[in-house]
Structure 1
Amino acid sequence: MLDRFDPAELSENVRSRFYIGGQWVSPRTDARLDLISPLTEQVQFSVPAAAPEDMDAAVSAASEAFENGPWPRLTPAERARYLIAMGQEVEKRLDLFKRVWTAQVGVVNGFSGMISGLIPHYFTYFAGLAETYPFEEDRPTPGGRARVIREPVGVCALILPWNSPLILLVAKLCPALLAGCTVVAKPSPETPLDALILAECADAVGLPPGVFNVVPADREAGDHLICDRRIDKVSFTGSTAAGRHIGAVCADRVARYSLELGGKSAAIICEDADLAAAIPAVTPVSMPFSGQICFAQTRMLVPERRKDEVVDAYRAAVESIKVGDPWEDDVGMGPLAMRRQQDRVFDYLDIGRKEGARIVTGGGRGAFNSGFFVQPTIFDGVTPDMRIAQEEIFGPVVSIIAYRDEEEAIRIANDSNFGLSGTVFTPDLERGENIARRVRTGNISVNGLQLDPSVPFGGFKQSGLGREGGPEGLEAYLEIKSIYLPA
């Protein structure tokens, strides 16, 4: 069993201050962010909430560090050494990071261990790009030559969601730092601790003052941040509605922005799929973290001829998931992160019933007297036009949709405003890749979902703009300058 989290483990800095300009500073107001336990529904801890004045101070520190500090003027190799050192500090704290994650939003031990294990690799991967990425290159011109230089975009606001706060911050921070940018990170009010502990890592390795600033805040203070004209780029992960707002604000002042938004991803079970292999592979990624993850495979497309067979096998797999206390090792699904998520999911369960879909299993909160629990739920008899097949529920709810042939499966998979992830299950890898090429989504895997820091992640359509991971993730934090030189 994972040791439970005690707020007393945290330093006084994390508990009571912001990290601004390389210093732990006291808040300007008495405002607090209450962290509600998803298991007990009680306040378990609180931290200061940044006011607009705190945001202004953080942006000032980041702006000063970019304009006059050493960071943008270091070589990529010099910045990479800081990344390596930060990654080592993170690795020392991985156990704490995992327990903080569970305490804040109820992620189970198995999932937190799998995702947290990826985090140090982001630091080493982006540090490695310092040696291989062409930050400068010469090109011949009729009048001589041109030197193409990739420079840091400037001061960046990194705005984080509540569901996977550390890995999503690291996926933004590592390329931003390697590029030479300075950063203001605004973690979600529900999950502020991860970014503050990461600030301790930055402090421990002597990152220059103002390069990385952390100010937990509510959405109003976050809006103040994105409107600040000193912010050159906003990187946001979260809801499509919030992404539209951020995009509009940035477009108004022609600031750079990238958005990683929602998903309604399809898992396509092909006619020739081996269910003994496919069902164990798709089950963990159809409802990971109680379905509160952007890449969840929440539409399962199955051939009509095999639908009953697939439903029976998938129901058995889902019903074998133990729901309960996320601190226990054998628990596969904990509570949802907060009451508003629980209410949202129950609303969609009612919508699905009214639309005529049939609940195969789940549909309630289970035998729990407290905690934001929702049983893992499967809907059968779902048609592609139903709201439960079109809208992101962000809970442990999967829709089974039957198709007649491969062409219809691809049409259904593409019948969505989203295009973030997907999977195809078939023993014929050539067939699987051909299907994957035709699905309009940013990421799709054959016979099991994969994630890797070296591969770009992001979406088509309303799933966002831009990519994180890989060289493409670094390019999101660079501007291109061309200097023409005589022969």
Structure 2
Amino acid sequence: MLPAGIHIAHPERLYIGGAWVPALSGRLIDLVSPDTEQVVARVAEADAADMDAAVAAARAAFDAGPWPMTPPAERIAAFRRMVGHLRARVDELARSWTAQMGGLASFAGPMHAGSVAVLEGLAAMAENFAFVEQRPSMGAAAGFVAYEPVGVVAAIAPWNGPFGIMANKVAYALLAGCPVIMKPSPETPLEAYIIAEAAEAAGLPAGVVNLVTGHRAASDHLVCNPGVDKVSFTGSTVAGQRIASVCGERIARCTLELGGKSAALVRDDFPIEIAAKMLAGTITMMSGQVCAMLSRVIVPRARHDELAEAIAGEMGRVVIGHSDDPATQLGPLAMERQRDRVEMYIEEGRKVADLVCGGGRPAHLNRGFFIEPTLFANVPNDSRIAQEEIFGPVLSLIPAEDEEDMIRIANESRFGLNGSVLTHDVDAAYRIGRRVRTGGFGQNGLRMDFGLPYGGFKQSGIGREGGREGFMAYLEVKTLLLDGVPSAL
């Protein structure tokens, strides 16, 4: 069983050691459409024993296999073959996202084509990377710095952006010389199957790419396996805390890209009408299910009420519907438990702030996990809806006294992932951006560039993905002090 237009050869199997094998559990995972609440696909469910088998295969590929010692140019060529296969399947990747997560079909194609383009950029970056550098040394005649693969990588991706996030992790691992074990979210695993098929078609050695699909307990078992040298995780801060603890116990490497509660600061020079359109359009993107989402809006008190009214007007015009309808601007939340979570926060918000619009389920949709775009005004910054990640189309409007107060409020958060300032003054944007404690910051909207480093301050994560900085997280640095220059580097 697969959604229309998606052609995966072995969804009922796992990819371990270069072969498609049955899950030892014998169980399958049902994938449920958030539009219809119907099962649209089934995939294999891995348990602890399957995770161990994947680690063993990856371990063999690293310790005894050719991949870590394969010249970088050959690894890059193999990866480029993978990217070619993925480029040919962009339509399937887009359909998978819409079917599993409810992402808008109108956005899915360009989104996944863009993700493939990022992979091509990573290959180009690796081609220009010096894996061995000679440097001046005070301790030897010749000093060298070598960048070597960190080892076996467990790549754990979330359900909201399953292809782009997983593919980036796989790309960095492969280009660095690391075997990788893909553990996608159990709600959105189809994209990882397509990545595994691309690796198989590209002729990668056995065990270099592995795929195991399972639930939380099996994922935790994978993280705890001492054969895993590095965990690359994107997801909730709570899960990230657990992973950091486990990795810390055995000094395993980890990259954690976690939650956020990002603020948009609206300066006096920015028109209310444009701000309202921009903010309403942003919070409904992917139904608000974006870790870097601008979900807090901080505005001078004198402009607060006018901005609230304008945002409500824009939200009232948002077209809510099924994700495959070209007219839809706001699709469903990804799953029932996510809708339950958002509704819980809406009830919390009613206790402390003014509900300006939304807050309920659309009356014209009696199936699917839909929620109206929701705006709260006069939100206290210490409230739950201002401090906790909701992951839905819920916007909190927070009044401030002046620019200094806006910066203070933005920084009063345990998160530090992203932020923005709405202003036409680029000098002010730079000045404010340097003072807001976040890993990313943009002028005039939610801006992201996956070819540059991204990640968070504070509880929004450890390390960076994207760009050269992301690549370095998959490498160990070795210093060699020699009596001369070797004939071959």
| TM beyond 0.5 | yes
Query: Over residues 379-431 of structure 1, what are the superposed CA-to-partner deviations in whole Å (9 max), with x where a residue is unaligned?
Result: 01101111110011111100001111100000011010001111111111111
Task: Provide the residue aligned with 2:316 in structure 1.
Answer: 319
Matches within 5 A, 1:324-473: 324-355=321-352, 357-367=353-363, 368-473=365-470
The alignment partner of 2:294 has SS state of: coil
Counterparts of residues 94-243 of structure 1 (less than 5 Å): 94-142=90-138, 143-243=140-240
**What amino acid is aligned across from residue 109 of structure 2 in structure 1?**
G
Equivalent of residue 91 in structure 1, options 67, 87, 90: 87
Deviation of residue 8 (structure 1)?
A: 7.6
1:26 aligns with 2:22: yes
Whether 1:300 and 2:297 are equivalent positions in the alignment is yes
1:292 shift after superposition: 1.0
- Verify: 1:58 aligned to 2:54, yes or no: yes
Q: What is the distance in 1 between the residues matched to 2:16 and 2:122?
A: 24
Aligned to 1:49: 45
- AA aligned opposite 1:341: Q
Count how many residue pairs are aligned between Structure 1 and Structure 2: 481
Q: Is the 8 A contact 1:86 1:205 kept in 2?
A: yes
Deviation at 1:29, TM superposition (A): 2.3
Equivalent position amino acid for 2:42 in 1: S
* 1:281 is aligned to 2:289: no
1:80-106 superposed Cα distances (whole Å, 9 cap, x missing partner): 112222122111111111111111111
TM-score where L is the length of structure 2? 0.96
- Tell me whether 1:270 sits opposite 2:262 in the alignment: no
Q: Is the 8 A contact 2:293 2:446 kept in 1?
A: no
1:223-251 C-alpha deviation (Å, 9 max, x unpaired): 11111111000011111111000110111
- Once the two structures are TM-superposed, the CA of residue 7 in structure 1 deviates from its matched residue by 5.4
SS of residue paired to 2:26: coil
Which one-letter code corresponds to 1:320 in the other structure? R
CA distance in 1 between partners of 2:214 and 2:459 (Å): 26
The 2-side partners of 1:183 and 1:257 are apart by 14
1:360–1:377 contact (8 Å) kept in structure 2: yes
- In structure 1, what is the Cα distance between the partners aligned to 2:397 and 2:421? 15
Which amino acid in structure 1 is aligned with residue 298 of structure 2? L
1:70 maps to which of 56, 66, 72: 66
Measure, in 2, the Cα distance between the counterparts of 1:275 and 1:247: 42
Residue of structure 1 aligned with 2:33, choices 27, 30, 37:
37
Residue ranges of structure 1 left out of the alignment (5+ in a row)? none
- List per-residue Cα deviations over 1:295-351 (Å, max 9, x = no partner): 110001111122222122222222221111110011011111111111111111111
Cα pair distance change 1:49/1:358, threshold 3 Å: same
Secondary structure in structure 2 of the residue aligned to 1:216: coil
Q: Is 1:287–1:398's contact at 8 Å kept on the other side of the alignment?
A: no
- % same residue: 48
Q: Tell me if the contact between 1:111 and 1:288 (Cα under 8 Å) persists in the aligned partners.
A: no
Q: Per the alignment, in what secondary structure is the counterpart of residue 85 of structure 1?
A: helix
**Structure 1: which amino acid aligns with 2:144?**
R
SS in 2 for 1:385: coil
Structure 1 residue aligned with 2:487: none
Inter-partner Cα distance in structure 2 for 1:395 and 1:248: 28
8 Å Cα contact 2:12/2:28 also seen in 1: no
Residue pair 1:270, 1:426 contacting (<8 A) in 2 also: yes
Structure 2 gap segments, 5+ residues each: 485-489
Residue 467 of structure 1 aligns to a residue whose secondary structure is coil
Letter in 2 for 1:459: G
Residue type of the alignment partner of 1:450: R
CA distance in 1, matches of 2:438, 2:19: 42
Deviation at 1:145, TM superposition (A): 2.6
CA RMSD of aligned residues (A): 1.4
Q: Is the 8 A contact 1:40 1:370 kept in 2?
A: yes
| SS of the residue 1:424 aligns to | strand
Q: Please say if residues 284 and 329 of structure 2, whose CA atoms lie closer than 8 Å, have aligned partners that are also in contact.
A: no
After superposing on structure 2, the runs of 4+ consecutive aligned residues of structure 1 that deviate more than 4 Å are none
Contact 2:332–2:371 at 8 Å: present in 1 too? yes
Give the TM-score taking structure 1 as reference length: 0.96
AA aligned opposite 1:88: G
Between the aligned partners of 1:260 and 1:284, the Cα distance in structure 2 is 24
Q: CA offset at residue 276 of structure 1?
A: 4.2
Inter-partner Cα distance in structure 1 for 2:284 and 2:432: 23
Instruction: Report the Cα distance in structure 2 between the residues aligned to 1:229 and 1:394, rounded to whole angstroms.
Output: 33
Q: Secondary structure at the match of 2:327?
A: coil
Shift of 1:120: 1.2
Assess if the C-alpha contact under 8 Å between 1:287 and 1:298 holds in 2.
Answer: no
Given that 2:79 and 2:202 are in contact with CA atoms closer than 8 Å, whether structure 1 keeps it comes out as no
Question: 2:106·2:324 contact (CA, 8 Å) conserved in 1?
Answer: no
CA distance in 1: counterparts of 2:217 and 2:116, whole angstroms: 32
